Chains A and B, each alone.
Chain A
Amino acid sequence: MISQLSWKIGGQQGEGLESTDRIFSTALNRLGYYLYGYRHFSSRIKGGHTNNKIRISKKPIRSISDDLDILVAFDQETIDLNAYELCDEGVIVADAKFSPKVPEGIKARLFAVPFTGIAEELGTSLMKNMVATGASAALLDLPIDVIKEVIKEEFGRKGATIVDKNIEAVSKGAEFIQEQTGGPLPELQIEPADGQRRLFMIGNDAIGLGALVAGCRFMPAYPITPASEVMEYLIKRLPKYNGTVIQTEDEIAAITMAIGANYGGVRSLTASAGPGLSLMMEGIGLAGMTETPVVIVDTQRGGPSTGLPTKQEQSDLNAVIYGTHGEIPKIVISPSSIEECFYDTVEAFNLAEIYQCPVIIVTDLQLSLGKQTAENLEFEKVEIDRGKIVSDIEPREDGKLFKRFEITEDGISPRAIPGTKNGIYHVTGVEHDEEGRPSEAADNRQKMMDKRLRKLENIQVTNPIKADAPHENPDLLIIGMGSTGGTIDEARTRLEKDGISTNHATVRLMHPFPTNELKPYIEKAKKVVVVENNATGQLASLIKLNVGYAEKIENHLKYDGNPFLPSDIHETCKELK
């Protein structure tokens, strides 16, 4: 029996692949398997090849795999485009309707199942995806009852007839393939899992949930791939907590509306991707200058311009750190797992209010959209800290305002929410004095710049660097960020087998850069490889700029739109060692 395998379903966009994927993976999740999903899709609604890949494992996994064990194909194009990934013992399950053919040189076995034929017999070709679900389940010898249970939940509200028809489609698909294979195929038999129902979610869900739990009650946002799920999550749940989402006219309105709400005392975030982030830059500068808390999520995708809107990339690092004109205090955090997407979002709201500045949460498409198993999220770890908000304010002498921008030792000033008695002050993006009045005086300018920038001198962030460093002096220190951590760890297991010792550091706080925390790991490594999904090595440059050691830092870059595979990192590291 094997401990993990990969399954992929492919066809034309809009053919119902999503629901097959959802039902199949939900069933696997119920059975206690760890899952890691990857969606290959295009920027269109219908048509165009699309596929969903799920890695299924008895043990925790956080990466896509190099190869593929089962390919479910709704058309020949799916086979032609994806067969190269199949391992020799792999299986293609394809709709008999298009008379599928195995490309030359591919050793995987083909089973043609009349997905469409069976579905049509049951009344509608729409159910072909349920036939495929049944066939998939049978190949893995999964208990069919679990699938039935998920179908009842999924279609229950459409009535018993629909549920029964779908269950029949699943059963027929399973029976058909069992007849063809003559029982379970030994090379696809995965060890049974522990039956524990773990969380199965995408990073954007975790961010939405984190925001809600952190007390965020307002989200203005403009739809964009791969960020929209955050607003879609919140619009369904915020009304219960008296809050709401506004779909704005553009991202400039989104960021400035979020600033207005935060100024008004309501925790508010917006989420976007590269193009929207570019539009938000002036607003982010306003938040920095006016010391208004605001949380911005940047779900990175392929850039520049419209770039590769549905593909993986990590190329906004420079933009999130340096994008605004002038110099402002700004915090950039980069979660590297589903759990971190949740906890970091909670923390981002606290940081924004404690340090009274913009906080950018930067993810990447694979972390934001790749559905995966997550550890339980703990209520006890959620704390809300609203920083220096004041409500009892002494009246001031006539003509004087509340010193909202009071110069303090730590640079952070007391904050009154508009509407608070005696709490009137002015807010402006123009350089201003302690009351917020415009001032161009040279000494005031210098004091206020110093005050704002001083706020982050002693910033406290949970785990700015996450490290797995079993070796005192490793041959390689591999540094990554975002979604690449699991893939790096798989490559490390292979490197260790090759006799190459490795440590792994994940940069979680991108700005202000955690130089002191990262430095010891770099110092002790013989060589450093920085793994990132961009063309210019933005993280490596950031490390060289802040920590130094340029002579021993190498880049491993991938910018073809796809996430790293364990084999990519394994091979490059072997060469670079």
Chain B
Amino acid sequence: MATFKEFRNKIKPNWCPGCGDFSVQAAIQRAAANTGLEPDDLAVVSGIGCSGRISGYINANGLHGIHGRSLPIAQGLKMANRELTVIAAGGDGDGLAIGTGHTVHAIRRNMNITYIIMDNQIYGLTKGQTSPRSAFGFKTKSTPEGSKEGALPPLELALSSGATFVAQSFSSNLKEMTNIIEEGIKHDGFSFINVFSPCVTFNKINTYDWFKENIVSVEDIENYDSSDRIMAMSKLMENDGMLTGVIYQDKTRTSYENHVAGFKEEALNKQDLDLSEEEFDQLVAEFR
């Protein structure tokens, strides 16, 4: 069985020292090993942005696609080979601005994919513009007078879109994040995981210290029940979305693949493509 080291490769990430994305990388590698995967069994599909580079920094099948489209690519791959463990990852701009449409529909569709948003509330790779996660009044290069738009609440969005697994973590807490990603991989359906992953270069507001002061673990909430969707929503709202842990999980609904007529357990890409002459003749005869 592979250890987390086997999910490492020799590429040095081009992230800034101290970037929150390093621990997301480590957490994915650990979670993959903990769930008993081999590198060949895992595919990481990522978007564009600093965080998008993550697929190149894990020893697994990796696809670094186009901005905002990691989820449809990951879903296509999952349909082709449901035996692969597919993780999609990207930044808050990738999944909550340019790719929001795909995020919402991937949630609805509920394929067995784990999606990790590396949320730093800013555009880092383009050197410091506002993001859909930036707070109202947040000053950046593109909002010199402060953002006039409110921040988008990813977990509430996921819950209201019908997500079957909603979790949040913080990149300083490697242990919790690893556990959550592991739970996400094991969940039979779409796992939505938002990770606060601070940008040390461009975001001087939402810093490591700021998160430490503001986040609340669901484990510290008395009688918190992660199978209760209404409780999940109300606690999120009470805490301004700053909860960490597995916030909601619906274990009763199974993933999309199980509901598709004719879809088999065996990966689609392993199946025979050839039709017999008889089958061909039948198909053609429909038009006579």
Contact = CB atoms under 8 A, between A and B. Distances in A.
Contact of A384 (B73, B74, B268, B274): B274
Given A244-B260, A248-B72, A379-B277, A261 B56 contact: no
A427 B55 CA distance: 9
A424 interface: yes
Nearest to A286: B66
Interface string B41-74: 1010100000001011001111111100101111
Nearest to B63: A427
Given A244-B261, A418-B61, A421-B40, A258 B280 contact: no
A84 B109 CA distance: 52
B102 A249 contact: yes
Contacts of B74: 260
A242 B280 contact: no
Interface string B268-288: 110101110100110110011
Interface in B197-211: none
A185 B38 CA distance: 78
A262 B79 CA distance: 10
B72 A418 contact: no
A379 B101 CA distance: 42
Nearest to B53: A438
Contacts of A268: 76, 80
Contacts of B258: none
A264 B84 contact: yes
Interface string B235-267: 000000000000000000000000011111001
Nearest to A294: B76
Given A428-B56, A437-B11, A253 B72 contact: yes
Contacts of A430: 64
A486 interface: no
B81 A429 contact: no
- Which of A215, A240, A260 has the most C-beta atoms of chain B within 10 angstroms of its own C-beta? A260
A285 B66 CA distance: 10
Contacts of A382: 280
Contact of A429 (B40, B65, B79, B264): B65
A377 interface: yes
A426 B59 CA distance: 9
A303 interface: no
Contacts of B80: 218, 260-266, 268
A436 B65 CA distance: 12
Given A200-B288, A261-B76, A429 B64 contact: yes
B105 A253 contact: yes
A257 B80 CA distance: 10
A198 interface: yes
A46 B88 CA distance: 43
Given A220-B72, A264-B77, A248 B63 contact: no
A264 B109 CA distance: 19
B72 A424 contact: no
A236 to B, nearest CB: 10
Given A241-B262, A260-B73, A266 B283 contact: no
A257 B72 contact: yes
Nearest to B45: A260
Q: Does more than half of chain A's interface fall in helix, strand or loop, or is it mixed?
A: mixed
Interface residues of B, number: 57
Contact of A244 (B72, B262, B269): B262
B83 interface: yes
Nearest to A438: B56
B9 interface: yes
Nearest to A239: B262
A244 B102 contact: no
A254 B263 CA distance: 19
B127 interface: no
Contact of A256 (B65, B269, B271): B65
Nearest to B9: A399
B39 interface: yes
Contacts of A263: 63, 73, 76-77, 80
B40 A419 contact: yes
A127 to B, nearest CB: 26
Nearest to B48: A429
A308 interface: no
Interface stretch (A36-44, A169-177, A205-213, A546-554): A205-213
- Which of A242, A254, A256, A261 has the most C-beta atoms of chain B within 10 angstroms of its own C-beta? A256
Contacts of B102: 249, 252-253
Given A238-B262, A377-B284, A215 B79 contact: no
Interface in A420-452: 420-430, 436-438
Given A244-B260, A264-B80, A424 B40 contact: yes
A220 B271 CA distance: 19
Interface string A358-380: 00000000000000001011010
Interface string A398-419: 0100000000000000000111
A252 B69 contact: yes
Nearest to B60: A424
A387 interface: no
B76 A264 contact: yes
A249 B101 contact: yes
A250 interface: yes
A165 interface: no
B198 to A, nearest CB: 24
A226 to B, nearest CB: 18
Contacts of A198: 288
B105 A217 contact: no
A15 interface: no
A262 B271 CA distance: 14
A29 B288 CA distance: 8
Contacts of B268: 217-218, 242-243, 264, 266
A397 B190 CA distance: 35
A213 B283 contact: yes
A421 B274 CA distance: 24
Contacts of A438: 53, 56, 64
B85 to A, nearest CB: 10
A249 to B, nearest CB: 4
Contacts of B66: 256, 282-283, 285-286, 429
Contacts of A240: 262
B288 A197 contact: yes
A201 interface: yes
A576 interface: no
Given A260-B45, A376-B284, A283 B79 contact: no
A335 B264 CA distance: 34
Given A220-B72, A260-B77, A263-B80, A244 B263 contact: yes
Contacts of B274: 215, 384
A317 interface: no
Q: Which 7 A-B pairs have CB atoms at the shortest separation, nearest pair first? A: A260-B76, A264-B80, A239-B262, A215-B273, A265-B269, A257-B76, A428-B64
8 contacts: A241-B275, A244-B79, A259-B73, A261-B76, A262-B76, A264-B81, A428-B64, A437-B56
